[in-house]
Amino acid sequence: MAFEIPAGLVDRIRAEAARLGFSRLGIAPATPPPHHDAFRAWLATGLAGATHEWLARHATLRADPRSLLPGATTIVMLATDHVADVPESAGPQGRVARYAWGDDYHDLLRARGNALAAWLEAAVPGCATRAVVDSAPLAERDFAALAGLGWIGKNTMLIHPGAGSYFLLTALLTDLALPIDAPLDVDHCGTCTACLDACPTQAFPEPRVLDARRCISALTIEDHGHIAPELRPAMADWIFGCDVCQEVCPWNRHAPGSLEPAFQPRGGAAALDPGDLLHLDAAGFRDRFRGSAIRRAKRRGLLRSAAHALGNRPDAGRLDVLTLALDDEEPVIRAAAAWALGRWVAAGVAVDAARAALGGRRAVETDPEVRAEIVAALA
C-alpha cells in the first residue's frame, strides 16, 4: 500500500525521537544488508564462537529486513549515547562494560522504540511499523552505516565522527517510503590500528574481522562454559563485556556520554566485587541483577569470570570465597576456582592454604574437567 508522506514528516520524526531520548537518527533503505555475504563467510569460518548456532539459524531472516516487517521500505536507525566516563573506584574490582553499568538497555530502548512506532502510526494512519533492539535478526550496524550514523571501524564497532562508539542502536522498520540519508563516504580509521593492537586476547585476526572465540566480551557474556586456559590471564579483571578496543579509539576522546539515569552505575559503582559475586546463590543472583543486562551472562558465567578475575589478582584475603566456590553446584564455577587457586600457588600467595583447599576438593570431585583443573593447579 502506497502512502502519501505528509509535509515535514521526517523533521517531526526527528523531533519526536529527540523528545523520547534518542541522540541521533538516520534513515536507510530496507534492502538486503550490504555485508551479508561477508557475514555468511564469517559464519562459515567458525569465528562466531558461542553465538554461531543462533546466528546461523537466523541467517536467512537476516538477509532481508522484510522478514521482520512484510512490505518494509525504510528503516529509521536511532542511536542512543550511553555513559562514557569511568568513575574512580578502589579495591579488587570486576570490570563491566559501560553499557551494562545501569539498567538493561533493551528495556529502555524497546519502550522508546515502541513509543516512536506508535507515534508514527498515529501520524500516518494505516502505516505499519516495528521497533527492534538488538534481539532480532537484523544487521543494525550495516543499516546504521547506510543511514549515515557512522562507519564500521577496524574493531567492528560503528563509529560516529562526533560521538565515537559509546552508543546503542534501535531500529524502526516501516512500510513508509521515507527519504533516505546518505552514508558517510570516508573511512576515518585511516592507518590507525590502536584497537587491534590493544586487544588483550588478540581477537582481531585482521581489521574488521572479529574472532568471537577470543573476544572477552563474547566470552564473558555469551559463553557460559569453560574458557580456554591460555585466554584467562589476558582477560585480567573483566567479568562482563570489555571496552578495551573502544577505550583506545581516538574517536572516543570526546564521546558525549549520557546523563540518562538508567545508564548510570547501580549503587554508584561501575565495577563489581568478584568476592561478593561468589557468595551469590541462584536466588541471590536473580535478585541482585533483576532488570540488568548482566543477567545475560547467567550465574555460572558471571561467577566463573569472577573466579578468573581473582586468579589474575591473587589476594590472600579472598581465600575464603575461592574455597567456597570450589564447592559450588556448577562444575564450571568449581573449575574456575581451582584454576584461580593454581594461579595463587604459582604466584606464591597463600600456597599452603590454597593447596589444602584444592586437595580437599580433589578427594570428593567427580567431574572429570574439574578434576583436571585441580590436578593442573596442584602441579
Per the rule left: phi > 0, alpha: psi between -120 and 50, beta: everything else, 49 is left
Kindly state the cell numbers that stand for 61.
Answer: 531472516
The distance of Cα 76 from the centroid of its chain, to the nearest Å, equals 22
Cβ pair 174, 73 in contact under 8 A: yes
CA distance 89 to 93: 8
DSSP secondary structure of 327-354: T-S-HHHHHHHHHHHHHHHHHTSSHHHH
Helix (H) or strand (E) holding 41: helix 36-44
Both ends of the chain: CA-CA distance in Å? 71
Question: How far is Cα 55 from Cα 43, in angstroms, rounded to an integer?
Answer: 8
| Alpha-carbon gap, residue 372 to 362, rounded angstroms | 9
Residues 6+ apart with CB under 8 A from 84: 98, 164, 166, 252, 255, 256, 257, 258
Is residue 169 within 8 Å of residue 135, measured between CB atoms?
no
Q: What is the DSSP letter of 275?
A: H
Q: Which of 233, 235, 204, 230 is nearest to 219 (CA)?
A: 235
- Which one of the listed residues 64, 134, 327, 367 is annotated catalytic? 134
134 is catalytic: yes
Q: At what angle do helices 9-20 and 105-123 cross, to 10 degrees?
A: 150
DSSP summary character for residue 237: T
Identify the sign of the CA torsion 279, 101, 148, 170: positive
Query: Which grid cell sits at 5?
Result: 508522506
Q: Which residues are catalytic?
A: 134
